[in-house]
Amino acid sequence: MNKNLLILTLSQIFSFTAAPVTVFLSGIIGSQISPVKSLATLPMSISVVGIAIGAIIATKVMSLIGRKYGFISASIGNLLFSILAAYSIMYQNFILFCFANFFIGIGMAFTHQYRFAAAESVEQSMAPKAISIILFGGIISAFLGPSLANYSKDLISENLYVGSYLALALLTFIPAILFLFYESKSKIDTNVEYKGRNYLEIILQPRFIQAIAASAFGYAIMTFLMTATPISMHVMENMSLNKTSIVIQFHVVSMFLPSLVTGHLIKKYGHSNVIYAGVFLYSITIIASIFEQSFFNYMFALIFLGLGWNFLFISGTSLLVLTYREEEKYKAQGLNDFIVYSVHAIGSLSAGIFITLTNWKIMNFICIPFMILIIFATIRAEILDKKKS
């Protein structure tokens, strides 16, 4: 743990609260102020679109002004657009709420760059552990964000949830202060996109495809089911907001708690074996959907969903680091995050539609083909790697 890694970890705790708060509240708020009920999860989906587009913006901005000032700018942006979200809730403006969530998503794209900054702050062999440490900070975010949002929702008594987004504004601004002490080691280069191999050469690497498949489809499956959970539990099954909050919190904890060991597991067993384990954990979630939808069933399913995501996402990210050269890092990282969060956005956007038209069990079964694709990409990379050696 060095100074930069410590700053990144602390910043992750506060900045990443935007993610669980968005998951926890945006669908519920959307169902209350949206003119079309099937569009209740649109704000959540729009935020993921923001992450996808923001992935390209974030890498470009940091190639121009460095990671330090890129992260500070994003933190200030999160402050402003969280306030805008509060304003839109106050005046029941669904379009403005979606607009605010889109830019909060762009801010989160910068937060997702913390893991690459962490990998750059240590030796390459320690990258999986550094990435795990950053993601582990999400555990505190999982409790801090939704809990503070829940406690502050009545801050302005006549406007429910306005206080939640004002609290989020404060939390996401804290990293701007922390990054004043960050030492940016990234080279500022306005011509970074012309250096190294072209995009096609990078994409066609079997290990790059494996990394993308694990991260993108792993994320899409997780967000597809997670986004639908508050609607399924609170709106369709009439479970309390408190119970819904607990399930989401434990889900997010399960997403990040394994980070304590995931880096060690990757180093000991290899990226591919940990990816296989992640797919297996997802299969437990799908099996759970066959049984009755009770509070404990949702809890069980969402915990294993989080565990599977952790294995797939950390394996995919740390594997990606091995597929590009130093002069290609912004290009490869931007491309990776654009693909990952575009697929993530599709999963999130379709969640509201599918949970309205089908049911929880069918939504789980829809995920199976994408799990097969992850396995196929991994097996293919392993075979081609052996032939190459």
Comparing C-alpha atoms, which of 152, 21, 29 is closest to residue 78? 21
pLDDT at 17: 92
pLDDT at 137 over 70: yes
Which tokens sit at 233?
Answer: 């539990």
How far apart are the C-alpha atoms of 77 and 232, rounded to whole Å?
32
Q: Give percent of the chain with pLDDT exceeding 90.
A: 45
pLDDT at 186: 56
Residues 323-355: tens digit of each pLDDT: 988 778 888 888 888 898 888 878 877 887 888
pLDDT at 110 over 70: yes
pLDDT at 194: 46
Cβ burial of 87 (10 Å; 0-12, 13-18, 19+) is: middle
How far apart are the C-alpha atoms of 382 and 196, rounded to whole Å?
25
* DSSP 8-state class, residue 188: P
Residues 15-40: tens digit of each pLDDT: 999 988 987 888 889 888 888 876 88
Cβ burial of 3 (10 Å; 0-12, 13-18, 19+) is: exposed
Cβ burial of 91 (10 Å; 0-12, 13-18, 19+) is: exposed
pTM: 0.76
Class of CATH domain 3-181+196-388: mainly alpha
How far apart are the C-alpha atoms of 336 and 57, rounded to whole Å?
13
Residues 166-221: tens digit of each pLDDT: 999 999 999 999 999 998 765 544 444 446 788 888 888 999 999 999 999 999 99
pLDDT at 294: 87
Other CB atoms within 10 A of residue 340 CB: 27
Question: Where are the domains positioned within the chain?
Answer: 3-181+196-388
Which tokens sit at 29?
Answer: 């708020």
Residues 251-272: tens digit of each pLDDT: 878 988 888 899 889 989 999 9
